[in-house]
Structure 1
Amino acid sequence: MWHNIARRALHSIRELRYPGAVKYWEKRYADGGDSGPGSVGRLAAYKAETVNRFVREHNIFDVIDFGCGDGKQLLLADYPAYTGLDISASAVAQCRELFREDTTKRFEVYRPEKFEPAPYQADMALSMEAIFHLTETHLYNRYMQHLFATARKWVLIFSSDTDDPPGGPFPHFRSRCFSSDVPQGWELRKRLDNPHGDISISSFFFYEKRAF
């Protein structure tokens, strides 16, 4: 009996410290927080330059972004058409306000348990420093399925690719070896190491859908 009480108490303490990815990010944005240092400054400029160049060189028209955050990174983007998804309704509301006069962009709340990829097909699916914030395995698994299921041709990922156990000093961060979970039918065309390693441990991974 006392063991069960202690276990429930420990769970409650952990829940207060970190309530899970969806609740954490919703509260963070609702309270006026932002996406973090990776969406501003020289790292944001590097990411934008890399993705914008890729979009131009491969004649990509529409992009779907799984994890648009507060939209600051998007201010540097140059895509003909864009759909931004985020698990935080507050982040989506901020983006809609920020880009309210831009008809080339739309934003929607991403609900992994209800998401249907078919209406969201795009030339390229994008994931920039979002994978390691999906701390729950069931959310991560659905996210990876949806990310690749919406892309007609390309998937670009900017993330770490190592497996770290949960429970570290930053509960909203869990690095994963996502390359082991890429669906069949996709080929890694290029890995581009990040020159700003003092800010982020992420690298770019460029996946192309194989022609059958």
Structure 2
Amino acid sequence: MGSEEKPSLPGSAAYWERRYAKGGNSGAGSRGEHAQFKAEVLNRFVASQGIDSVIEFGCGDGEQLSLAEYPRYLGFDVSPTQLSRTMARFAEDASKSFALYDPIRYSDRAGIITADLALSLDVIFHLTEDEVYQRHLEHVFGAARRYVALYTSDADDPELTGEFAPHMRNHPVLRDVAKHFPEWRLRERIENPHPWSREDTDGSISDFFIYERTGVS
């Protein structure tokens, strides 16, 4: 695109609402080999750690959730259109709850909205606004009693793939979590088996970063 202006975006939440309203889905990361990899990692972790409840910030179209084996689940999403569809998809599943997520109008100072494990899967690099990104981390870590699993990129470069992905932005996640959430330690990093590159754009830019609250075994 050279010196041409990049396409303007209405904001991350508005982008996803518009995308879903036009019939789009949650993307390649929630399908095929990428979805299977995430499900295998998370299902194994939930079982091995005796996790009873899971909260996810960004449940999307439910494709990833359809592979999950969670005892109890609460899924948030910013898109009213897609959330209604996902709720309908799992309407007969009594183990799953859903709610609309507005990062600016979300507050849980009383600590009511909590679970053993909080998830953010392929969400963070879609948060193009600094405030929304910061609030997202606050809400994810604030909702977790024992563990947090982030599946995202981690880099200082604010550009992800330049003009090829105007709705995506890298964030220095490891640095920011260490700075703002010192009571959490990185328990494990699990690299995805099919990384993205300019030569292989079918790969994923994300890896798992699994955090554990200090003092919790």
How far apart are residue 94 of structure 1 and its match? 1.3
User: 2:30 — aligned with what?
Assistant: 39
Match of 1:175 among 155, 170, 175: 170
1:123 is paired with a residue whose SS is strand
Mark the runs of 5 or more structure 2 residues left unpaired by the alignment: 197-202
- Tell me the TM-score normalised to structure 1 length: 0.90
Are the aligned partners of 1:129 and 1:159 in contact in 2 as well (CA < 8 Å)? Answer: yes
Q: Could you tell me how far apart the structure 1 residues matched to 2:209 and 2:14 are?
A: 28
1:67 aligned to 2:58?
A: yes
Map 1:8-157 to 2 at 5 A.
17-117=8-108, 118-157=111-150
Q: Could you tell me how far apart the structure 1 residues matched to 2:56 and 2:156 are?
A: 23
How far apart are residue 48 of structure 1 and its match? 0.2
Q: Could you tell me how far apart the structure 2 residues matched to 1:20 and 1:166 are?
A: 16
Q: Could you tell me how far apart the structure 2 residues matched to 1:17 and 1:68 are?
A: 25
Match of 1:192 among 190, 193, 204: 190
Q: Could you tell me how far apart the structure 2 residues matched to 1:147 and 1:163 are?
A: 21
Q: Could you report, residue by residue, the CA deviation over 1:25-51 in whole angstroms, capped at 9, with x for unpaired residues?
A: 000011110000111101100100100
Q: Could you report, residue by residue, the CA deviation over 1:77-127 in whole angstroms, capped at 9, with x for unpaired residues?
A: 000000001111112111101101001111111111121232210000001
Q: Could you tell me how far apart the structure 2 residues matched to 1:165 and 1:122 are?
A: 31
Q: Could you tell me how far apart the structure 2 residues matched to 1:47 and 1:165 are?
A: 25
The structure having more radius of gyration, on CA atoms, is 1
Q: Could you tell me how far apart the structure 1 residues matched to 2:69 and 2:117 are?
A: 13
Q: Could you tell me how far apart the structure 2 residues matched to 1:166 and 1:47 are?
A: 25
- Tell me the TM-score normalised to structure 2 length: 0.88
Mark the runs of 5 or more structure 1 residues left unpaired by the alignment: 1-12
Instruction: Determine what percentage of the aligned residue pairs are the same residue.
Output: 46
Q: Kindly tell me the number of residue pairs found equivalent between the two proteins.
A: 200
Q: Which has the higher helix share?
A: 1
2:51 is paired with a residue whose SS is coil
Cα root mean square deviation, aligned: 1.7
Are the aligned partners of 1:188 and 1:206 in contact in 2 as well (CA < 8 Å)? Answer: yes
